[in-house]
Structure formats: structure tokens, C-alpha cells
Amino acid sequence: MMRTTAKLWIYLLMMTAIIACLPQKNERKKLKSVHVIPQPAELSQSSGTFVLNQTTQWVTQNEVTASLVKFFSKKLKESTGFDLKTTKNEPSSNFISLNINTSMPGGKEAYALSVTKDFIYISGGSEQGVFYGLQTLLQLLPPDIESPKVVNKTGWNVPVIEIKDHPRFKWRGMHLDVCRHFVPVENIKKHLDMMAMFKLNTFHWHLTEDQAWRIEIKKYPKLTEVGAIRTEGEGHEYSGFYTQEDIKEIVDYAAERFITVVPEIELPGHALAALAAYPEYSCTGGPFEVRNVWGVEPDVYCAGNDETFQFLEDVINEVVALFPSPYFHIGGDECPKQRWEKCRQCQQRMRQEGLKDEHELQSYFIKRIEKVLVAHEKKMIGWDEILEGGLAESAAVMSWRGEDGGIEAASQGHDVVMTPGNWCYLDHYQGDYRVEPVAIGGYTTLEESYNYEPVPSELGEEKAHHVLGTQGNVWTEYMYTPELVEYRVYPRLIALAEVNWTQKEKKDYNSFVNRLDRIFPRLDLYDINYHIPLPEGPVNKLVFIDNARVEFSNTRNYPMVYTTDGSEPNKESDLYKDALIFANNKTIKIATLLPHGKLSKVRSIELVKTQKISAKDPVTSKEGLAEQYADTTFVSVAGIDKVNEWKERDGAVENRGANYRETDYKQPSSHLFTGYLNIEEDGIYEFQTNLDQFYLAGRLLIDNDGEVKRFSRNNSTIALAKGKHPVKLVYLNNIIGGWPQAWNGPKVQFRKLGDKQFTQVTNEMYSF
């Protein structure tokens, strides 16, 4: 009997031990609560938590980790109110120990994080590795840890967990163009905070352009006195630049977060702002004005003038003193050659140096600048055009025009940063152009950015190590405010952060989105204006005859909430589930709902019951439209009332913009087109246009007055009977938001409701 009882006890003890080792329901819940971005290389979790409280102590053995303690203690105090003490001797429990292990696998950025119920150990391959371990620790704490003010709560809990982690790539970056639109120092710091949170380590700062020179150069003060100011097409001045003290502040702020700031000084092209200040370094001698439209400028630095190189060497001397980065970006992209082709000095340079064409002249220019950088112990990096005519010996390449440039450079033994537009350009649309703020074009979703693979399959293993990593490129032509920059950048930059850090086999988009949804509350605490997919579907004004059937979707399949009583939707409003059908006039207000309760911008859709508009029966004899025009232009349609005398001609409207030259935006004009548009069958039609105003069937159907018309805005619908309907087109050749209307020409497109494709209205469809 005793022997049987003993066996039973042994059995029960064994079963208890086995059960303790099995994942329990509560433990599985805790596993789901771990939402770290980027995804670590190794992660295992157990039950239980470490509780951070006012008696928790830091344990640090040297001054290196002590500096990290100071940084993170300040951050923790802001949100928790805890003023954590530091000791060199481990207490029995309730401590966070920081250590450096230079032999740690994965290199200096690697870290290991061990959380038990009693203490936390963080070790890193260097101070930087420990920093990343602490960033992960912050993500394991509740989101309120990011609060800039004290949050009174009882549980600052960290799950019991083991993490071993290291980055896949060396260059994990964000590029920011501050020339098209200026980004203040405080807003740049917000980006650096986000970069640190997601373990990005390179800030590529695009400081000079045709549209502005943004960095103070003391030897050449006119670079900012003249080059930092442009007169916009609307007539107002736009300006801003960084003093050298501002630069130092940003560089120091970044360094504290282990972010290297790489300056970009554009050459030999994209230099009009500099040439406006110092025209003697051009091929023609000017005079010039800072460019107030986007696109590529033909006036570039003169490659035949030795004084040009002295000027650039002087600039570089001041810039390198401000940036400890080992890299210096020289641009090198989109340099038109027409000025060099006609420049006596440039042609003489080509003969002297035995250069066969202007592409080799560009290579000469860049190699000469490379020598200046090498003397400063800097590595040159540039866009993939620097391959043209032969690549400078020590140069690295950023491959932006697809991947071919990067493949070519890596095959030659050069380091490359892969940043092709299809995946890495964060100025692209990320939703329907009809509802999103105007963008430069393109369409790059969060999933596409996440799924980018920086190492092309064409590179063999022996060359793959030349791929340093990737970065998100932020060109700000159509980012008119710092808030709009954030809207374009996040969360796609976070996706690229995981591309850069996480091992390829560990990546999973569905897991990423799940973790991202839990990260958004942290971004809210930084007041980041991240993109929430807008409800897509109908245009803002939708007419119907019998019943209106409206359907909505969004690019990430989030739930949507709506109202029909005129009130603003909130998270308790009706949940959109299926197509909505209405028999009478109605206004729908709808927004996308994130898991933590935050809403997107509200869309308002007006449903209007109507009848088909009968066609007219005019006598017309000419194709196209009658045109009235004047050799002046206005920012607003109201200005055309000031025209005293219109000129007249028969208007060939179709493809008016196709034959325009790049400089035609400088020739002001205003146009009124009138006549008739032939509709081939009864139906409800959606129209879109880049016109300032479009009248159809006697009503103002689309009003784009005062808007940036890079792409069609304010689409609208109308019910039309078969036949001819009167039209009026108001077209002002103006510049709004940096986009010249002349580059498009007047265009009208339509589609029958329900069709996918738009049809361009041609001259044959018009008559007068």
C-alpha cells in the first residue's frame, strides 16, 4: 500500500511538472500581447511579469551604460513619475541590469533581453546594442510609457520573455527632402524619435535643390539670403533654412539615438537655388530665380569653370565639419546636359581631359569632387546616375530608378543602398487619388513596402554583402505641411524598418499588421499624423434616379462606421457591413475605425435623387470648342472678371498639354472653352478633370478653383440623356502648389457609373 502511494505521488509530481511546462491559456494570451516592431530574431515567452515601480533600480558597471541610464531614466520619469536610482551592485530583485558584451553574435548592434519576474538583464554588442534592447523594453511596456506627461496607473508590467536579436542590414534609413517644403527642427526631432523606436540608424538629409538651399554656409551667405527664398506661383514668398547651430542640434539629437545624419549637397544638377545666389558658377551667367515649380531644371553647375569646383570645395569644407557621418551624399541625379553641350568652357574641358561625351564630363565632375571628400576621409554616395560615364572608385550608389543601377554597382564591387521607387518612395499615393490628398503620383501600399526584398536575385552570394540596406525616400513636392509629411511617411516607414532589421525568413505581413495596430497608440502619444486608410468607393456627390446603392472599402480592410442623420460618426456608430441602399436624398458620413478606437478623417457623401437631363438639339458645324483666351493668368477663377478683352479662336482642346514645352508655364494665359459634348447613351456618368472649373448641362459640375491639380480633384456625377449637352471649360495656366497647369493641358475624362476605366474626351466629342 505504501509502495503504491509513493508511486502515485511520483506520478502526480511528474504530471504537475509537465503541465507547468505546457503553454497555458493565460500564457497564450500573454504571447499575443507581445507586439514588438521590428520582429526580433529569437523570442520566447513564459508566464508572469516583471513590475516596474518606483523602487526599481538600474544596475550599470561603467560610464558607457551610465549614459544610457540617464537617457532612459528621463524618459521613464516623464510618463511614470518614477525617479529610478542607479547602483553598481545588484540587489536581490527589482532591477534592470545593463551590460556590454563585445563578443556577442550579431555585432555591435545586437542585443539580448532577458525578463524574469524579479529582474531584467539587457546586454548588447556595444552601447548601441544596449540602446536597441532598451527600445524593445519600452515596446514591451504599456503604450502609455511614451506619454510626455505622468500617467497614473498601477501596472507598468513587462512580460517574462527572452529575446536575442540583431539587424539584417547596416543601412536602415529615412531620407527627407526639406527643400521643396521646409521641415522645422522640432518636426525633424519627431522623425528621429520614430526612427529610434524602430531601430533605424541613418537619416539622409536632402539640403539643397533647385527650389531652395537650406543650409547656412558662412563663406557664401547669399546661398541662404537668396537661395532659401522663392516666390511661389500664387505670389507669396516661401522660405526657411537651418543655421549651423540648428544643424549641430539635429546631429547631436540624432547621435544620442544612434542615428547617423548623412548630408546631401546636390551636384552637378538640381543647383538652381545656388546659381540664383552665385550665377557665376553656371554656364550662362544668369540671372536666375529660385525655381518655383517642380521638375528638372536645365541650368546646372558649369563643369568647365575651375572656380565652380573651388566654390563647391569651400561648401564641402563647412558641411563636413558639421556632420561626423562617414558618408557624404552628392546627389548626381537628373543632370541635363544641354547647357554643357553649348558651353565653350565645358567643351574645352572635354577636349583637355579626352572625354568623349557629356556623360563622361559628369563622371569627371563627380570624380573631382570625390577627391575633395577623400581628403576629408569621407565616403561618397550618390543616386544611380553617377554610374554614367564611369563610377568613382570609392563611391557607393543609391539605386532609385529600379534595381538595375544597384545590381550593376554591386557587381563592380561597390556598396549600394537599394531604394527603388516602386517600394521605397513614400511620396506615392497609398489610397484612391480621388479621396487622398494630392500626391506626386505612383501607388505604393503598406504591404508593397513591407514585401520589398533589398537583395536582388540577380546578385550572387559573393556580391550580396554589398547591399547595405534600404531606406524610405520622402520627396516633399506635394507635402505642404509637416503634418502631411507624417501622413505620407507613417506607417510605411515602419514597414521598411522591419524590412531592414528582421531576418527574411522571420517576416510575415499579417503578423506585422497585427503588431502595428498595437503600436499606433504609441504614435498617438508623439502626435504623429499617420495614415489611416480612408473609406473608398463613391465620389463625394453621387446622383441617382431610382435607388442609390453605395459600397465602401479601404486598403487595409479595417471596419468602417457611418451615420446618415448629419452627425459625425464615432466608434459607437453603425458598423458598415454591406452595400447601403437609399431611395431618397441622404448624406452619408463615414470613417475608418482602427482597433484602438481612433477614426480616420470623415468622408461626407451627398446622395441626390435626380432625373436625366435632356439633350439639346443645337446646330453645330465645327469640331472642338470655341475658345476665348487672354495673355494673362490668375490664381483664382474670380480673376477672369478683370479681363477687358478676350481674343478668340477655334479650340483644339484634346492633348493641349502634350505639345507644350517645359518652359511654357512661364507664359501666362487664361482660357474659356464653350460648345457641346456629345453623350452616346443615356446613363449616370462620373466626370473628372484638371480644369479650374467644368460646367456641364448648365451647371458647375466640378470646381477645382484654387486647388493643386496635379491629378484630377473633386470628381462628380451627373445623369445625362443621349445627345449633345452644353459645356464650358475654365482653364487658367497658373501655378498652384508648385504644379504648372501647362504641363497637363485641359483634360476631361468620364466613365459610366459602374465602369472601371475612364475615357478621355476628344475633340471629336466636342462641337460648336
Give per-residue pLDDT as tens, 192-231: 999 999 999 999 999 999 999 999 999 999 999 999 999 9
The whole-angstrom separation of Cα 35 and Cα 32 is 8
pLDDT computed for residue 464 by the predictor: 95
Greatest CA separation found in the chain? 119
User: Range of 259's domain?
Assistant: 201-394
Instruction: Give the cell for residue 30.
Output: 500573454
The whole-angstrom separation of Cα 27 and Cα 84 is 29
Residue 405 lies in a domain: no
308 pLDDT band, cuts 50/70/90, is very high
pLDDT computed for residue 63 by the predictor: 84
Which residues are CB-contacts of 130 (< 8 A; sequence separation ≥ 6)? 65, 68, 98, 99, 100, 111, 122, 123, 124
Q: Are residues 512 and 659 in the same domain?
A: no
Residue 239 lies in a domain: yes
Q: Are residues 274 and 390 in the same domain?
A: yes
For residue 17, pLDDT over 90 is answered with no
Q: Are residues 220 and 193 in the same domain?
A: no
Q: Are residues 174 and 269 in the same domain?
A: no
Q: Are residues 195 and 233 in the same domain?
A: no
pLDDT computed for residue 3 by the predictor: 38
14 pLDDT band, cuts 50/70/90, is very low
Backbone angles phi, psi at 349, to 5 degrees: -60, -40
Tell how far CA 139 is from the center of its chain. Answer: 23
**pLDDT tens, residue by residue, 424-461:** 999 999 999 999 999 999 999 999 999 999 999 999 88
Cβ(620)–Cβ(768) under 8 Å?
A: yes
Cβ(717)–Cβ(541) under 8 Å?
A: yes
> Tell me, what amino acid is at 155?
G
The whole-angstrom separation of Cα 684 and Cα 754 is 9
Q: Are residues 459 and 551 in the same domain?
A: no
Residue 281 lies in a domain: yes
Count of H helices and E strands in the chain?
19, 37
The CATH number for 561's domain is 2.60.40
Instruction: Give how many domains the chain has, as a whole number.
Output: 6
The whole-angstrom separation of Cα 406 and Cα 398 is 7
Q: Are residues 368 and 233 in the same domain?
A: yes
Identify the DSSP state of 615.
Answer: P
For residue 31, pLDDT over 60 is answered with no
**pLDDT tens, residue by residue, 234-269:** 999 999 999 999 999 999 999 999 999 999 999 999
For residue 653, pLDDT over 90 is answered with no
The C-alpha torsion from 520 through 524 and 527 to 530, rounded to 10°, is: 30
- From 30-39, 46-55, 313-322, 740-749, the region with the lowest mean pLDDT: 30-39
Listed residue (143, 113, 119) closest to 57, CA to CA = 119
pLDDT computed for residue 4 by the predictor: 37
Q: What is the model's pTM?
A: 0.94
For residue 713, pLDDT over 90 is answered with no
- SS3 of 587, please? strand
For residue 276, pLDDT over 80 is answered with yes
Cβ(207)–Cβ(244) under 8 Å?
A: no
Which segment, 309-313, 389-393, 667-671, is predicted with the most confidence on average?
309-313
Cβ(114)–Cβ(97) under 8 Å?
A: no
The CATH number for 146's domain is 3.30.379.10
Q: Are residues 511 and 555 in the same domain?
A: no
Average of per-residue pLDDT across 71-84: 96
For residue 298, pLDDT over 70 is answered with yes
Q: Are residues 280 and 334 in the same domain?
A: yes
Using CB atoms within 10 A of its CB, is residue 511 exposed (0-12), middle (13-18) or buried (19+)? middle
pLDDT computed for residue 231 by the predictor: 98
Decide which of 528, 558, 587 is a domain's last residue. Answer: 528
Listed residue (697, 651, 658, 650) closest to 678, CA to CA = 697
| CA dist 530 → 53, 493, 533 (Å) | 32, 10, 10
The whole-angstrom separation of Cα 279 and Cα 270 is 14
Residue 238 lies in a domain: yes
The residue assigned the cell 575651375 is: 306
pLDDT computed for residue 662 by the predictor: 61
661 pLDDT band, cuts 50/70/90, is low
Cβ(488)–Cβ(531) under 8 Å?
A: yes
Average of per-residue pLDDT across 702-719: 94
- From 140-154, 651-665, 716-730, the region with the lowest mean pLDDT: 651-665
Q: How far apart are the first and last CA of the chain?
A: 112
Average of per-residue pLDDT across 584-600: 98
pLDDT computed for residue 153 by the predictor: 86
Residue 704 lies in a domain: yes
| CA dist 73 → 86, 137, 145, 504 (Å) | 10, 13, 12, 34
For residue 293, pLDDT over 50 is answered with yes
The whole-angstrom separation of Cα 762 and Cα 108 is 63
Average of per-residue pLDDT across 169-182: 98
> Per-residue DSSP letters for 80-136?
H----EEESS--SSSEEEEEE-TT-TT-TT-EEEEE-SSEEEEEESSHHHHHHHHHH
392 pLDDT band, cuts 50/70/90, is confident
Average pLDDT across the chain, whole number: 93
Please state whether 542 falls in left (phi above 0), alpha (psi between -120 and 50) or beta.
beta
Q: Count CB neighbours of 691 within 10 A.
A: 26
Decide which of 378, 394, 410 is a domain's last residue. Answer: 394
Average of per-residue pLDDT across 622-649: 93
pLDDT computed for residue 496 by the predictor: 98
Q: Are residues 209 and 354 in the same domain?
A: yes
The whole-angstrom separation of Cα 304 and Cα 711 is 40
Instruction: Give the cell for residue 307.
Output: 572656380
Average of per-residue pLDDT across 146-170: 95
The whole-angstrom separation of Cα 274 and Cα 316 is 14
Q: Are residues 207 and 195 in the same domain?
A: no
